[in-house]
Chain A
Amino acid sequence: DTAVSQTPKYLVTQMGNDKSIKCEQNLGHDTMYWYKQDSKKFLKIMFSYNNKELIINETVPNRFSPKSPDKAHLNLHINSLELGDSAVYFCASSLGGGGGSPLHFGNGTRLTVT
């Protein structure tokens, strides 16, 4: 009964490859996010979708493209992977998109680019 689930949990790939991370939530939330956690544990938002509409798009390279086929799913596709993309990527969801609704996080995808 995982609330926010992401796959895969680990992803090891070479520079230049393209990879995707999938996220699904069964909480009935209408807002979903991608956060990046770097090696120093610093968390920074990348994208946010509300009812399939992109509402937050931080300064992220164009190689990162989120896609939300419906409000329960938010996937992240990364083209031409670089060493600096190595991090833990967290998917999260919340109810509502304009207030302080708490975020519910997935367990993360550890991406290692070699």
Chain B
Amino acid sequence: AQSVTQPDIHITVSEGASLELRCNYSYGATPYLFWYVQSPGQGLQLLLKYFSGDTLVQGIKGFEAEFKRSQSSFNLRKPSVHWSDAAEYFCAVGPIQGAQKLVFGQGTRLTINP
């Protein structure tokens, strides 16, 4: 069955430090992969997506992610975090069963120390 695992429930980094959020997926074919960010009280906003082609994708707000088929991973990175990056981050994989359906990971909460 298709699934997404985000191994880290909560990560704390200092402002200006680099960030890597992990995402591993289980999917029978080449997946579509997404990273979304959720700020408190808000809906989810798309950061970036991977469909095919270049395995390093650039997103908004200075984020990037790398698709590694051999490791079934799609980790999110940012070279220098800002206090405004504090939020919940979700990795998602799709489509599921041919339908426009995504399976989400359980999320990683990012806290930024000043």
Contacts and interface: CB of A to CB of B under 8 A. Distances in A.
Interface string B75-114: 0000000000000101000110011111010110100000
Given A41-B106, A48-B100, A55-B99, A100 B94 contact: yes
Contacts of A31: 100
Given A4-B43, A41-B107, A90-B43, A103 B102 contact: yes
Contact of B101 (A56, A107, A108): A56
Best-surrounded residue of B43, B49, B90, B104 (most CB of chain A within 10 A): B43
B17 interface: no
Given A42-B104, A107-B42, A97 B99 contact: yes
Nearest to B107: A41
B104 A99 contact: no
Contacts of B44: 43, 90, 92, 103, 105
Interface in A78-109: 90, 92, 94, 96-108
Given A41-B88, A42-B106, A107-B42, A102 B101 contact: no
Contacts of B102: 45, 103
B44 to A, nearest CB: 4
Interface residues of A, number: 28
Given A40-B106, A41-B106, A42-B106, A105 B45 contact: yes
B34 interface: yes
Contact of B34 (A40, A50, A102): A102
13 contacts: A41-B88, A42-B104, A43-B104, A44-B104, A48-B99, A97-B99, A98-B98, A98-B99, A100-B32, A100-B100, A102-B46, A105-B44, A108-B41
A38 to B, nearest CB: 10
Interface string B55-83: 00000000000000000000000000000
A102 B35 CA distance: 10
A31 B101 CA distance: 11
